[in-house]
Amino acid sequence: MDAAKVAAPSHGFTKSTDPFSSPSTPYKAMCDFEVGGFSGSCTKVFGSSYGHILSHWGLVPEGHPLDLSLAVSGLFLYSLLFLYPLATFVPARESLLLAICSGSVGFSVYLIYVLKFQLNDFCVVCMSFHLCNFVMFFLAVMEFRDKSAQSEKVATQDTQVSPAAPRRSARIASQQGAEFRQRRSAM
C-alpha cells in the first residue's frame, strides 16, 4: 500500500518536473488510454488549472512557490502518512491521523467531482490517488476506534470495583459498628 501511495503522485510529479520535455514536444502521459469507446486522459487532467489548485482558486498567483501541483502535494501527504508509525511521541496521534485522512478524503471527493463534471474525463493516476485516500481514511478510523476502545478499557479497569468489594465494606462496617457498641456499653 505504501508503494502505491508514493507511486501514484510520483507519476504526476515527473510530468511537472520532466527535464526532457520541451515546448516543441508536448507532454503525453503514459496512462492515457482509449478502449472500446471509453477513454481517459491523464494529460488533460495534469495540464488543467486544477492541477495547481491554489492558483486555480486564486489563493496564490500562478507560478508562485506555494503554487504546488497536486502531485507534489500528494508526495508531501503520503510521506507524512508513511512516517506515521514512527511518530509514537506525538500526543493524540490517532486523532491527528484521522483529521488528516478526513481532509484528504474530503478533498478527494471534491477532485472526483471536478474530474467527472468539470473536466469530463477519467484519470487512472488520479483515481488510484483517491482510492489510496479512501483506504487510508478507513484505516485511520479503525486505528482511532481501536485506540479509543483501549483507552476506555483501561479507564474502566482503573475505576471498576470488584463484586466482592461491597460485601467486604459492609462486613468491615458491621465489625466496626459492633466494636463501637461494645466500647460504648463497657463505659
Q: How many C-alpha atoms does 149 have within 13 Å on its Cβ side?
A: 6
pLDDT of residue 154: 72
Long-range contacts formed by 132-137: CB under 8 A, 24+ apart: 132/1, 132/4, 132/5, 132/8, 132/78, 133/101, 133/104, 133/105, 133/107, 133/108, 134/105, 134/108, 135/1, 136/5, 136/81, 136/101, 136/104, 137/101, 137/102, 137/104, 137/105
Residue where the block lists cell 507532454:
27
AA letter at 34: E
Whether pTM > 0.85 for this model: the answer is no
Q: What is the pLDDT of residues 174-183, one digit of tens each?
A: 676 677 677 7
Tell me: pLDDT of 32 over 80.
yes
> Comparing 52-56, 130-134, 167-171, which segment has the lowest mean pLDDT?
167-171
Residue where the block lists cell 486564486:
58
Task: Name the more confident of 9 and 170.
Answer: 170
Q: What is the pLDDT of residues 108-146, one digit of tens each?
A: 999 999 999 999 999 999 999 999 999 999 999 999 999
Q: What is the pLDDT of residues 58-79, one digit of tens each?
A: 999 999 999 999 999 999 999 9
Mean pLDDT of the chain: 82
Residue range 23-27: mean pLDDT, rounded? 71
78 vs 32, 135, 138, 150, CA distance in Å? 24, 13, 15, 27
DSSP string, 125-166: HHHHHHHHHHHHHHHHHHHHHHHHHHHHHHHHHHHPPPTHHH
pLDDT tier, 170 (very low <50, low <70, confident <90, very high otherwise): low
